[in-house]
Structure 1
Amino acid sequence: MSEPFTITPADVEAAARRIEGHVLRTPLVPAPRLSDLTGATVLVKHENMQATASFKERGAVNKLLTLDEDERERGVIAMSAGNHAQAVAYHARRFGIPATIVMPETTPLVKVENTRSHGARVVLHGETLYESAQKARELAAAEELVFVHPYDDPAVMAGQGTIAHEMLEDDPDLEVLIVPLGGGGLMAGNAVAAKALKPSIELIGVEAALYPSFFNAINADDLPVGGPTLAEGIAVKTVGVQTLPIVSSLVSDIVLVGEDMIERAVYAYASLQHSLAEGAGAAGLAAMLKEPGRYAGRKVGLLLCGGNIDTRLLAAIMVRELEREDRIVAFRLTTADRPGLLGKVASLLGEQGANILEVSHGRLFLDVPAKGVTLDVTVETRGSAHSAAIEAALRESGFAPHRVLPRGLAGRDLAEPGR
């Protein structure tokens, strides 16, 4: 690599030596069920096993260990949507360095509280990382704090690059690395490390479709940027000045993934790999689910780069995926209102092997006869074929069923006919 990048393979190797003993060398784990799902040979680097459940510890530790004594005494400040915040706060306390973290007001509560629990002063400011960064720089200047950028810093980038260094040491036969892209620190560090160890390896970056910042910068495009995303860890509007040249030179493609694919990937990690992945952590798998044919037959390394996901959000995702797979379905039955109706429906569903989750009567709808009733029943099934068999049995029994969206379980206020 002849490009004048701000970091070199030697910087990554030095970072690996520096952070040894301070962060976990996470395992690179074969994922046979994800391999079956995608048609590739998938190996997962479990950075969600770090003490703060994300890869951010590597860059934070490398940066903190490069500070001189005066900088350590003055303290550090960082801006982050969560994982960088926790990493800086956790290791700053370990090293006896005062830490201040500026976080967007929209940061998930679990990440805010985790950061505070590590002893940092937390300042909530702005809707986006850009606004938080402005506040952090103001405080850094006013209080003479060392600014620890989450991605656009050579020491941070080199620390993140130790991931690919470890992956290719553990399995030199990897053909593709798929890396989530926010500000680019993770990809930049790992691109430099990976290309030095194996020039033929293909590097693919993944952005949330709502935040195509690198895609726009590299392709001279103008796709809109912004909006609520499950992958808030890579919801970055401004790419790194130092990371952009590396990404544009060494990364073969940038893939945009929609929220539905990110949800599917989070669910797949939980149900098939038995691992927690936040939205950004699941982005690489989301790219594979979007285009499985692209990776079929190849050995692919995925970075499960973070596992800090709100448990309520995870529960909602799990239920939504069960709905998409027709393993949770709701039927609206319209029939005459007579004694024993509910018992008959329950018996029929029991005979069909369905598990009833929710029942709702409706007697006052104007589109129902005065002596009629609607019965909304949400059931758990074994999948699409089983759901179809249950629907057929209800129809044969005269209940005139049609599908509706599960209201309570789906978090929706209104049921809608059809699917």
Structure 2
Amino acid sequence: MPLHINTPLIESRPLSAIAKSTIWLKLDALQPCGSFKLRGVGHACEIHHARGAKGFISSSGGNAGLAVAYAGRQLGIPVTVVVPETTTERAKELLAMEGAKVIVHGSSWQEANQLALTLTTSSDAFIHPFDDPLLWSGHATLIDEVAELGQKPDVVVLSVGGGGLLCGVVEGLRRNGWQDIPVIAVETEGAASFHAAIMAGKPVEIEGISSVATSLGAKRVCDQAFECSTTHHVKSVTVTDQDALDACQRFLLDHRVLVEPACGAALALAYIPHALDRYDNVLLVVCGGATATFAQIQQWSAKK
């Protein structure tokens, strides 16, 4: 059995009414560790476990680190997660709850990642947060589940950070014969590394992350994510932090599920009038996020 679960696919009446389209929600916020990351991370961890890995090393203070910690606990493998100084206390508490060793290092994910790589021995497996074909293959199961239900959408809407989910969804569409379905990749304006790559015609590193949607905070998307934009119909869209925060709060009211601003970025398109008018059936990936609290979302909104 895989470590992730098949998540519900439900029609959202509140969002459908606003968007004037039928909005289908793929509720990956209900994964055991709170986000879609478990699909790819769980798959990678199972593969490395089968190959004899004695430890898992990760570099993420967010959902990827939580997924590695959860997978390690389930497989009986010790986990070390290196997180940057910006990581919230809530995230560190959740990592510790899963039994992971947490090391705080550096002011950015890049610095935490550099240390994590030096800690990885020949008996360990390094689990990258987003740039690994094993992850993409695991994330593609999200589309497999939709295809098994026979619910073919006109478009898939998702959030993009480092690009792992985008790569997985495109792989899933292709392996199910749905390569004609476009993808809308949404970012907040202060974390728009994918949009920067589209504008530049190649992956580029943005100067910094100024968005509250820190789970989108990869300063450079993986090469495969950009490659997907050249071989598949992918539209890049940016929204404001306030759009994402408003979507988080409205979604909590509409569906009793709390997600973080990174997920709110994709949800925002359903709440912005006319953003999805041209599509009849929309698949919206509710990617989740376990590290944001409602109090934090309210505080961020108050500062905007």
CA shift, 1:116, in A, is 1.0
What corresponds to 1:235 in structure 2?
Answer: 217
Within-5 A mapping of 1:5-404? 19=2, 22-67=3-48, 71-73=52-54, 75-141=55-121, 144-197=123-176, 198-220=178-200, 225-290=207-272, 292-308=274-290, 309-316=292-299, 320=301
Q: Which structure ranks higher in relative contact order (CA pairs < 8 Å, sequence separation ≥ 6)?
A: 2
Q: Secondary structure at the match of 2:7?
A: coil
Task: Specify whether residues 269 and 146 from structure 1 end up closer, same or farther in structure 2 by C-alpha distance, changes over 3 A only.
Answer: same
CA shift, 1:291, in A, is 6.0
Computing the radius of gyration from Cα coordinates, the structure with the larger value is: 1
Q: Which amino acid aligns with 2:160?
A: L
Q: What is the rounded CA distance, in whole Å, between the counterparts of 1:130 and 1:236 in structure 2? A: 8
Q: Which amino acid aligns with 2:181?
A: I
Deviations 1:326-377 (A, max 9, x none): xxxxxxxxxxxxxxxxxxxxxxxxxxxxxxxxxxxxxxxxxxxxxxxxxxxx
Q: Which amino acid aligns with 1:220?
A: A
Q: What is the rounded CA distance, in whole Å, between the counterparts of 1:234 and 1:181 in structure 2? A: 7
Q: Secondary structure at the match of 1:265?
A: helix
Q: What is the rounded CA distance, in whole Å, between the counterparts of 1:232 and 1:54 in structure 2? A: 14
Task: Specify whether residues 287 and 224 from structure 1 end up closer, same or farther in structure 2 by C-alpha distance, changes over 3 A only.
Answer: farther
Q: Secondary structure at the match of 1:44?
A: strand
Q: What is the rounded CA distance, in whole Å, between the counterparts of 1:224 and 1:237 in structure 2? A: 5
CA shift, 1:176, in A, is 0.7
CA shift, 1:23, in A, is 1.6
Q: What is the rounded CA distance, in whole Å, between the counterparts of 2:32 and 2:218 in structure 1? A: 24
Task: Specify whether residues 165 and 229 from structure 1 end up closer, same or farther in structure 2 by C-alpha distance, changes over 3 A only.
Answer: same
Q: % of aligned pairs identical? A: 29
RMSD between superposed Cα atoms in Å: 2.2
CA shift, 1:70, in A, is 6.2
CA contact (8 A) 1:47 1:55 kept: yes
Q: Which amino acid aligns with 2:287?
A: C
CA contact (8 A) 2:16 2:23 kept: yes
Q: Which amino acid aligns with 2:33?
A: T
Q: TM-score, normalised on structure 1?
A: 0.67
Q: What is the rounded CA distance, in whole Å, between the counterparts of 2:45 and 2:185 in structure 1? A: 27
Q: Secondary structure at the match of 2:157?
A: strand
Q: Which amino acid aligns with 2:258?
A: L
Q: What is the rounded CA distance, in whole Å, between the counterparts of 1:152 and 1:196 in structure 2? A: 20
Q: TM-score, normalised on structure 2?
A: 0.91
CA shift, 1:201, in A, is 1.1
Q: What is the rounded CA distance, in whole Å, between the counterparts of 1:33 and 1:125 in structure 2? A: 42
Q: What is the rounded CA distance, in whole Å, between the counterparts of 1:48 and 1:237 in structure 2? A: 24
Q: Secondary structure at the match of 2:81?
A: strand
CA shift, 1:145, in A, is 2.5
